[in-house]
Amino acid sequence: MTFSDTKQNHPDSHLERVPDFGCAPVGSDAEVRLAEIWETTPGWRGWFSTVDHKTIGLRYLVTAFIFLLIGGIEALIMRAQLALPEQSLLTPEQYNQLFTMHGVTMIFLYALPILSGFSNYLWPLLLGSRDMAFPRLNALSYWIFLFAGIFMYASFPLGQAPNAGWFNYVPFSGPIYNTGPNIDVFALGMVLLGISTTVGSINFIVSLFRMRAPGMTINKVPILVWGTLTASVANLIAIPAVSLAFFLLWLDRQVGTQFFDVANGGKPLLWQHLFWMFGHPWVYAIVLPAMGIVSDALPTFCRRPLVGYTAVALATMATMLLGFQVWIHHMFATGLPTVALSIFGAASMIISIPSAVAVFAWIATIWLGKPVFKTAFLFFAGFIFLFVVGGLSGVMTAAVSLDLQLNETYFIVAHLHYVLLGINVFPVIGGIYYWFPKFTGRMMSETLGKWSFWVMFIGFNIGFFPMHIAGLLGMPRRIYTYSSRMGWDSVNMITSIGSFIFAIGILIFLANILISLKRGALAGSNPWDAATLEWSTPSPPPAYNFAVIPVIASRHPLWEDRLNENSKRSSLTQGYLLMEGHETLGTSPIDAEPVTILKMPGDSYAPFFVGLFVSLFFVGLLLHWWYFAGMTAAACCITLVIWMWPRKSLAQRTAPKTAHLSGRSP
């Protein structure tokens, strides 16, 4: 269907090409009208009902960062326990719960949700749209994420937190060896969290293929979009595997099935297959969007476009494709056939190639550009260093013979932290420094920013690099204390000191945020002189994002004059004006040709209550309150009916005023 066909066949169509609306002064009738349509109701009603992607994105960022702080505190307590031999700050059971919740928090409650926060806030701005494809689904994904985190942490003060490690291997997590509710909390909480991730992934995928600005063909979208898209597709494939694993484990524990009970014909190794079919792609799901942040923001400080855009985009997809072929990388020591070990060992080495492509692209961008050493640039450069270190240790563990020696040692803990913490946290904090002006309208302090970087970078390497040495000295993973005769005293003390230095760097970063929110210099729309579309809007952006839906002609719409890439130019002031309700432009999946007007839903309490009732349903399952679970399931179904119930649009309720503003008679 062509755009002209859509206008002709749509009786209420009001898609109008605007000659020069972008030059209209702020406060014009059209902008006032758009603000009335799109702004959230102030007060507590708006807080619970908003579906604004920017508000949801900031909530993801703040909530996930709070979980990062909680996970960091848990890590510091563990490092205090391990700083000296034969410490007794924690009992073995307390350490098991702390160790497990630290891993769950950092991997599941922080790493991906904070990247979802960036993508939720930035995607419509990067793509030239007014919202995500499914705004209410977007709100639902956040509420379920929040309730899943609360669900899992509610057991912690009671001493009943998950205690079998974040990998939760059976039979240690089975009904025989773990009789309390600890593992049930983890199993049900992970299924609940999987619902949030699934609906969020669907939203991202549809948004990319249907919500881009006209002219933004598939080869013009930013790398951050490619990274999040790839992670979202992978989540839809991987989440069912781990959700099934946790559901089967819950059945073993509560119903009496024997899926993992070897004495009754079950397969304990089935758990590892199902978990790592999810677990290894998940590693890339929490890395690829972070790599996208670097690929999009680094060129701004190098004053040139990213070198090898196409190669980096293809490498992003290739990384995830190969990521589904290396899950046995985590199972080399389980006694699998030699042929399988050889095949998956080779795949584990090959996967380093697309990652190397991205590293070379970043280095070439810095080398061929004119770097400006702002705080965000330092975090991105530090990330590249940590990425190389983590990647090299990953290639080492891809060698089967070496992995058999290192698999259960602290060498793997070091690799894991370089990959999951260094490669995620540094781009995230660099991204916050970069987009903080867009989020808040204020600049962060460069002085405090550079202090936070150097303290964090030095503390990180002091804290985690010695873990490699501890592993080579034979220190096993998952131990809560050790003998003074083992020779691990010094290396553990250095690691603990480095961990606390890293924590000081995080505190400096938090202080910078709090001070900048109050006293930061006003940013303006584009303080970095960046090239991408989000910097064409005010800071912070209005509720409707774009008064005029822009028309895009290149990957760098704000740098076209200086780059002179082609004869065509993007039009940020001559686009499409849609102001008869919650509307944005729908475009074709590949070429981004305008094809339809999308009627977007407004604010609603339904996502909050659906998320609440779904969470309470899981509470009923945990506590065996079957009637309560049934009642909350029924309440959830009723709320879904209310959610989907048709209602008059804003355009229908205010037709005369809308028609006048759009240039048509009532």
User: How big is the chain, counted in residues?
Assistant: 666
**Adjacent-strand bridge partners of 17:** 576
Position 523, amino acid: A
Rounded Cα distance between 605 and 96, Å, is 39
* 589, pLDDT greater than 80: yes
pLDDT confidence bin for 41, thresholds 50/70/90: confident
Helix (H) or strand (E) holding 346: helix 338-350
| Contact yes or no for 109/67 (Cβ under 8 A) | yes
Q: Which of 377, 381, 307 is nearest to 528 (CA)?
A: 377
Rounded Cα distance between 590 and 577, Å, is 23
pLDDT confidence bin for 648, thresholds 50/70/90: low
- Higher model confidence: residue 134 or residue 582? 134
* 492, pLDDT greater than 90: yes
* 23, pLDDT greater than 70: no
Rounded Cα distance between 222 and 358, Å, is 14
| Contact yes or no for 528/300 (Cβ under 8 A) | yes
| Alpha helices (H) in 473-547, listed in sequence order | 489-519
* 62, pLDDT greater than 70: yes
3-state secondary structure of 596: strand
pLDDT of 35: 86
pLDDT of 27: 47
pLDDT confidence bin for 655, thresholds 50/70/90: very low
Cα 147 → chain centroid: 17
3-state secondary structure of 442: strand
- Higher model confidence: residue 289 or residue 570? 289
Name, in order, each residue with C-beta under 8 angstroms of 347's C-beta and a sequence gap of 6 or more: 322, 325, 326, 329
* 659, pLDDT greater than 90: no
| Contact yes or no for 289/231 (Cβ under 8 A) | yes
* 46, pLDDT greater than 80: yes
- Residue 522 φ/ψ, nearest 5 degrees: -65, 135
601-625, pLDDT tens digit by residue? 989 999 999 999 999 999 999 999 9
User: Please, is 60 exposed, middle or buried when counting C-beta atoms within 10 Å of its C-beta (0-12, 13-18, 19+)?
Assistant: buried
Rounded Cα distance between 77 and 227, Å, is 34
pLDDT of 567: 65
pLDDT of 156: 86
pLDDT of 566: 67
284-343, pLDDT tens digit by residue? 999 999 999 999 999 999 999 999 999 999 999 999 999 898 888 889 888 888 888 889
Helix (H) or strand (E) holding 577: strand 571-577
3-state secondary structure of 599: strand
pLDDT of 420: 86
Mean pLDDT rounded to a whole number for the chain: 89
* Mean pLDDT on 95-101: 95
Rounded Cα distance between 438 and 633, Å, is 40
| Contact yes or no for 129/536 (Cβ under 8 A) | no
- DSSP 8-state code for residue 421: I
* Mean pLDDT on 396-416: 91
pLDDT of 30: 78
pLDDT of 649: 53
- Higher model confidence: residue 666 or residue 476? 476
Q: How many CB atoms lie within 10 A of CB 294?
A: 30
Rounded Cα distance between 572 and 525, Å, is 14
pLDDT of 656: 40
Q: Which of 610, 607, 633, 608 is nearest to 620 (CA)?
A: 633
- DSSP 8-state code for residue 522: B
* 666, pLDDT greater than 70: no
Which structural domains are found in the chain, ordered by start? 3-46+540-650 (no CATH), 332-539 (1.20.210.10)
Cα distances (angstroms) measured from residue 52 to each of 56, 128, 132, 517: 6, 15, 9, 21
255-285, pLDDT tens digit by residue? 989 999 988 889 999 999 999 999 989 989 9
Q: Which of 118, 200, 202, 107 is nearest to 152 (CA)?
A: 107
